Amino acid sequence: MSVQMWTYILVGLTFALYIGIAIWSRASSTKEFYVAGGGVSPLANGMATAADWMSAASFISMAGIIAFSGYDGAVYLMGWTGGYVLLALLLAPYLRKFGKFTVPDFIGDRYYSKTARSVAVFCALLVSFTYVAGQMRGVGIVFSRFLEVDINTGVIIGMIIVLFYAVLGGMKGITYTQVAQYCVLIFAFMVPAIFISIQMTGNPIPQLGFGDTIADGSGTYLLDKLDGLSTELGFSEYTNGSKSILDVFAITLALMVGTAGLPHVIVRFFTVKRVRDARKSAGYALLLIAILYTTAPAVAVFAKTNLIESVQNKQYEELPKWFKNWEDTGLLGWTDKNGDGQVQYANGHAVEGNKNKPVFDGKNRGEHGERKITNVNAATKNELFVDRDIMVLANPEIANLPNWVIALVAAGGLAAALSTAAGLLLVISSSVSHDLIKKMIKPDISEKGELIAARLSAVAAVCVAGYFGINPPGFVAAVVALAFGLAAASFFPAIVLGIFYKRMNKEGAIAGMVVGILCMLLYMIKYKLGWFDETLPPSSEWWFGISPEGFGAVAMVINFVISLVISKLTSAPPKEVQEIVENIRIPSGAGEATH
């Protein structure tokens, strides 16, 4: 069967499974809608958390980032996995003991202020909408290539599926759907990795295979081969890093604290029965996430090696079918700069500038049949544009794996994107219905009315997310870094100080969140999005040499300093609030604290 037919079958079966679970586990109360009734088992919650966390960025983009960044891409592995350790040990148990539905709910009650709640709602919506834009882009990429439909049509199909099980089932439906989605995405990620590891090195364990010798009997290590290929093309050695130690530290820290401050991840720990279960589910999630995260570097090495060997110095007419399939999506392009009809892949941008989104003319082809690229950068020898988001999805095709494996990866990519999109949409709907309407606008609203408001909010949120998918903003490539930076700069200090510092008051928390998120926004706008300049400022102008991806760590420190200074200069929180802080830090069943 063709790839398209296999894709229809596998994607159809997985979608039917998600819808069936949503109908079976539909929410009948606000508690079930917000936190799945608080009765999810630690293992199921760990699987759901892993699926919620491993978004399109993890499944589709992370190995692509590592493939093109080499050693420098390790910061994503360290930051995202380290963030889960931080979350499990430092935040999850205490937030579960506090017993609120949402992060704005915690901040509003802990800081006894409607203003603090409003700022937290704004931050939650900003983080969630920027994050969900990337998920909808992932859905569009998968549908456009594997189902051969228009990207807009693909996004609309994804919207309908998410809308159905998010609105009907709420957190209860999403939780059990995400358990299924974890199984789909991890199977889809590991199967081709194992196949290609055996194909290239003879080792069935990808985590070991990419450090093994290649299977041609030469005794050459795969990483040594990739280092050689990279230097021949003018790139630095794949296994050597180019980032400064300070920038590596800042990016890793920003990703860690961003993980621990993401509202759609934190809310998962409100869905278990006990504080002990919150710790267990965090441990399960870390173990389950590690399966994919330890495999991603191997997939990156396999994909980059195969890409170079299959296209470099080949005549366009001789290129394999996968190349032209991905050309049609606009995410891969070649222009014949020197007129020799050969694909030249080398160090340098094929496209003029580093912030312009390349636009491909799908109808107008040159004399060699090559895809025309607008904004050609004539200053470099590189003739090939490769969107890093295609590397995981194209990897099975590049390696000539069976059609069912190629289709399986498509189903896995959709599972990853939809699982996180659903979690984010629930955060958005609960922020509006619970934190704004119930807690601030109409406190006397009935439970039925609140549930209706939550579902209507989810519908509106899906429509906004779909708009971002159909009309992606220019900063889609920066969405993940932006979301993590915003979470680190706003939520993390307010949550940590709210748990561990009794003297922390509303004035300090509000000032810290506002200043932190504004610092992050301004830095990202200037150095990542280029809104203040026609071209992006060079890296030599970065503050302290820290890249935009790492600036969340700086904004977080600014938040901490502002929060502590303001809280010292203003009155202490009420005694009952300080007693609550004392209570959530005492382990259940520990009795009175002793001196």
- pLDDT at 516 > cutoff 80: yes
Write down which residue in 391, 426, 450 finishes a domain.
Answer: 391
- Tell me, what amino acid is at 461? A
Write the pLDDT tens digit of every residue in 130-143: 777 777 777 777 77
Q: How confident is the model at residue 179 (pLDDT cuts 50, 70, 90)?
A: confident
| Whether residues 406 and 313 fall in one domain | no
In a domain, 284, yes or no: yes
Q: What is the pLDDT of residue 423?
A: 73
From the list 435, 420, 499, 425, the residue with the least C-alpha distance to 102 is: 435
Question: Which one has a higher pLDDT value, 160 or 482?
Answer: 160
| Whether residues 151 and 220 fall in one domain | yes
**How far is it, in rounded angstroms, from Cα 95 to Cα 501?**
14
The proportion of the chain whose per-residue pLDDT surpasses 90, expressed as a percent, equals 11
In a domain, 396, yes or no: no
Q: What is the pLDDT of residue 366?
A: 47
Helix or strand (DSSP H, E) at 371: strand 371-373
| Whether residues 277 and 363 fall in one domain | no
CATH of the domain at 107: 1.20.1730.10
Q: Which two tokens stand for residue 581?
A: 């802080």
Q: What is the pLDDT of residue 364?
A: 45
Our count of domains for the chain comes to 2
Write down which residue in 371, 391, 411 finishes a domain.
Answer: 391
In a domain, 571, yes or no: yes
| Whether residues 118 and 240 fall in one domain | yes
Q: Which two tokens stand for residue 128?
A: 């969630």
In a domain, 590, yes or no: no
- State whether residue 100 is helix, strand or coil: coil
| Whether residues 457 and 381 fall in one domain | no
| Whether residues 534 and 440 fall in one domain | yes
Write the pLDDT tens digit of every residue in 187-229: 999 999 999 999 999 899 998 888 888 888 888 889 899 888 8
**How far is it, in rounded angstroms, from Cα 428 to Cα 127?**
10
Q: What is the pLDDT of residue 476?
A: 45
Report the pLDDT averaged over residues 72-98.
Answer: 78
Report the pLDDT averaged over residues 490-496.
Answer: 90
Q: What is the pLDDT of residue 332?
A: 82
In a domain, 591, yes or no: no
Report the pLDDT averaged over residues 432-453.
Answer: 78
- pLDDT at 358 > cutoff 80: no
- State whether residue 537 is helix, strand or coil: coil
- State whether residue 372 is helix, strand or coil: strand
DSSP bridge pairs for 272: 40
Q: Which of 264-278, 437-451, 496-510 has the highest average model confidence (pLDDT)?
A: 496-510
Q: Which two tokens stand for residue 40?
A: 């999810």
Burial (Cβ within 10 Å: 0-12, 13-18, ≥19) of residue 217? exposed
- pLDDT at 53 > cutoff 90: no
SS (H, E, C) 227-274: HHHHHHCCCCCCCCCCCCHHHHHHHHHHHHHHHHHCHHHHHHHHCECC
| Whether residues 49 and 164 fall in one domain | yes
Domain ranges, residue 242: 3-305+401-585
**How far is it, in rounded angstroms, from Cα 564 to Cα 162?**
41
Of the ranges 233-237, 329-333, 459-463, which one carries the lowest mean pLDDT score? 329-333
In a domain, 512, yes or no: yes
- pLDDT at 401 > cutoff 80: yes
Q: What is the pLDDT of residue 97?
A: 75
From the list 116, 164, 125, 169, the residue with the least C-alpha distance to 429 is: 125
- pLDDT at 450 > cutoff 90: no
* DSSP secondary structure of 429-471: HHIIIIIIIIIII-TT--HHHHHHHHHHHHHHHHHHHHHHHHS
In a domain, 592, yes or no: no
Write down which residue in 373, 391, 409 finishes a domain.
Answer: 391
**How far is it, in rounded angstroms, from Cα 125 to Cα 486?**
11
Q: What is the pLDDT of residue 521?
A: 87
Return the residue matching tokens 């494996």: 405
Burial (Cβ within 10 Å: 0-12, 13-18, ≥19) of residue 41? middle
| Whether residues 360 and 445 fall in one domain | no
From the list 473, 474, 477, the residue with the least C-alpha distance to 549 is: 477
Of the ranges 154-168, 377-391, 411-425, 463-477, which one carries the lowest mean pLDDT score? 463-477
| Whether residues 552 and 503 fall in one domain | yes
Question: Which one has a higher pLDDT value, 529 or 297?
Answer: 297
Q: How confident is the model at residue 354 (pLDDT cuts 50, 70, 90)?
A: very low
Q: How confident is the model at residue 473 (pLDDT cuts 50, 70, 90)?
A: low
From the list 272, 386, 278, 296, the residue with the least C-alpha distance to 41 is: 272
Q: What is the pLDDT of residue 26?
A: 63
**How far is it, in rounded angstroms, from Cα 392 to Cα 299?**
7
Of the ranges 247-256, 296-305, 347-356, which one carries the lowest mean pLDDT score? 347-356
Q: What is the pLDDT of residue 33?
A: 58
From the list 131, 127, 52, 56, the residue with the least C-alpha distance to 480 is: 131
| Whether residues 181 and 148 fall in one domain | yes
| Whether residues 204 and 340 fall in one domain | no
- pLDDT at 31 > cutoff 60: no
In a domain, 594, yes or no: no
DSSP label of 357? P
Q: How confident is the model at residue 170 (pLDDT cuts 50, 70, 90)?
A: low
| Whether residues 382 and 520 fall in one domain | no
